[in-house]
Amino acid sequence: MDAKFEIATDEQIINPVCDFTYSWGVNCGLSKGEALRFSVAVSELITDVILFAFPGDSKENFEIEFYHTFSNVEIVVSEMGEPFDPDRHTYDFQKALDEDDFDGAGFLLMRSFSDDFSFINKGKEGKEFRLAKNIQIHDIDELLQQSADQREVELRNKGDQNSRVNIEEFTINRIKPTDAEDISKLFYRTYGYSYNKEDLYLPKKIEESVLAKDKLGVIARKKDGEAIGFFSVIPKDNSDIAEVGEAVVSPKYRRNGVMSSMMDRIIEIAKSHELTMLLGEAVTLHPVSQKVNNKFGYKTTAIQLASMVNVKYKGFDEEYPQPISMALDFLPISQPPKKAVYLPEKYSEIILETYIELGMDVELKESGAYHLADKSDIDLEIDYSSSSSLIIVKRYGKDFFTVLSDMVSSLEEKSPKTILLDLPLKNRATPEQFLNITSLNFIYCGLLPQFHFDTDFLRLQKVYSAIDFSIIDIYSEFGQKIKSFIADEYHIHSEERQKT
């Protein structure tokens, strides 16, 4: 999150918020024209909240949050005002012309001036409005068109692999802002422009992330200073784990122990930051990255279906016939103390086996009596690039099933590829609440140890794409067991949907 404001329902705040939105959008990479139009959409949204969400002259507060990634910006407005149904406020051009009735024009403007507009009804938790705008990276788009250069790089890389060089000495050091250009060149010389994270071709972006300490990384160099390897992990905001960001070794210097040395150093750095786990997400259209993870002791604990769309990988010229799934591999750095977990009976066996794989000591507890809060506490994250959403349950309330059902219905209006649902395993209400949501057709995804708030979560998934499991390549034996478990449940749900 870049910024979060709690704002009073006062019309005087509209201009300052729009000015901030414009400047923030430009700094994130929007053109001045795009930033201006996006700020107009935000202006319309917060004006509607101020004028119509709260009755009478009451002065209330609402929240606005600003997020950005390399590829898009997103603004989330949360308010606890009067309920309303946006479907009843559809703009009618003829009514506007004949009767001066402009009801719904604001929503039309917001949709026109943003790339994605979502309304989420969260019941007693209020309402969320989400505006998102894609960042157009024209330089990268142009670079990706340079097919002749790409072929030249691939031929050179093939030659490099055939002329592999043995090296006796190399250094591993933590990355500094001054390493940014060498890191970009390393990815170019290894992958051409086929690597799927565009920011790695922009040294300034790498420099900014290092300065902001958004990632922990190391760089490997020969004695003469040539960069030959790079490895980074990205700490999570709400837990003491880190996700593997990027890892690369120059082809002609592979099989010299560079990757192993970088991994060892990353683990040292992770321990110094008191991190407890490393997470590696490995694509399942080939087993290469999973083999690397397995070599270093990572354990597959979950398989996330249809995670990535429209991604091409160098060396795979044929079109992959479905969205790419991911294996989630965890490496424990330090073992947490024994903990109590409350598991849905349907998944207790596979989850307990996963804990054994990880070497984690848990005690399976019966739910017993528990108290539900008046209001649920549920977070929502939307990944626009992959058409997926993540719902994180922090606290169960009496309104849980209603709120969850409404959220899923709202998200389904955007034709998602997947909706993920994370349930807390330390909460004694989870087994019974799981039974309540079986009608929503979620299936198993896996165990996420220490994933949110330093506690374990069960991840479920609802998949809207047809999945051919025969082309999902899982390397580890236990990972194959998880795949088989998910496939069986997926096919059962598919058959039930066909019957209805």
The DSSP code sequence of 230-266 is EEEEEE-SSSSEEEEEEEEE-GGGTTSSHHHHHHHHH
Would you state the pLDDT for residue 150?
A: 44
- The token duo for 277 is 């786990």
CA dihedral of residues 331, 337, 342, 348 (deg, nearest 10): 50
pTM given for the model: 0.77
Q: Domains, the chain, ranges and CATH? A: 3-134 (3.30.565.10), 140-273 (3.40.630.30), 339-499 (3.40.630)
Distance CA 169, CA 222 (A): 7
Distance CA 115, CA 112 (A): 7
How buried is 162 (Cβ within 10 angstroms: 0-12 exposed, 13-18 middle, 19+ buried)? exposed
C-alpha closest to that of 400 among 379, 378, 381: 378
Please name every residue paired with 341 in a beta bridge, in sequence order, or none if there are none.
Answer: 364
Distance CA 30, CA 66 (A): 14
Residue type, 238: N
Strand 216-222 with 170-174, pairing: antiparallel
Task: Count CA within 13 A, CB hemisphere, residue 359.
Answer: 11
- Tracing tokens 């769309």 back to the chain, one arrives at 309
Task: Count CA within 13 A, CB hemisphere, residue 438.
Answer: 13
- DSSP one-letter code for 323: P
Residues 6+ apart with CB under 8 A from 431: 342, 343, 344, 345, 367
- Tracing tokens 């998102």 back to the chain, one arrives at 132
- The token duo for 332 is 């424990």
Would you state the pLDDT for residue 141?
A: 39
Would you state the pLDDT for residue 151?
A: 41
C-alpha closest to that of 346 among 468, 497, 460: 460
Strand 72-79 with 377-383, pairing: unpaired
In what helix (H) or strand (E) does residue 105 lie, and over which residues does it extend?
helix 105-112
Distance CA 477, CA 216 (A): 31
Would you state the pLDDT for residue 311?
A: 52
Is residue 234 a contact partner of residue 275, using CB atoms and an 8 Å limit?
Answer: no
Q: Is 307 helix (H, G, I), strand (E, B) or coil?
A: strand
Distance CA 351, CA 364 (A): 10
- DSSP one-letter code for 385: T
Would you state the pLDDT for residue 92?
A: 53
C-alpha closest to that of 388 among 421, 422, 423, 416: 416
Distance CA 280, CA 46 (A): 39
Task: Count CA within 13 A, CB hemisphere, residue 113.
Answer: 19
Q: What string of pLDDT tens digits covers the 500 residues of the chain?
A: 788 998 888 888 888 988 999 999 888 888 888 888 898 888 888 888 888 878 766 678 899 999 987 678 899 999 888 777 666 656 455 554 555 544 556 677 788 888 888 888 887 778 889 999 988 654 433 333 343 344 444 444 555 555 678 887 899 999 999 999 999 999 888 888 767 677 888 888 888 888 887 789 999 999 999 999 999 999 988 889 999 888 889 988 988 989 889 999 999 999 898 999 999 998 898 888 888 889 889 999 999 999 876 555 444 445 678 888 999 999 999 888 899 999 999 999 999 999 999 999 999 999 888 899 988 999 999 888 788 999 999 999 999 999 999 899 888 988 889 999 999 999 999 999 999 999 999 999 999 999 999 999 999 999 998 999 999 999 999 999 999 999 999 999 887 766 65
Q: Is 7 helix (H, G, I), strand (E, B) or coil?
A: strand
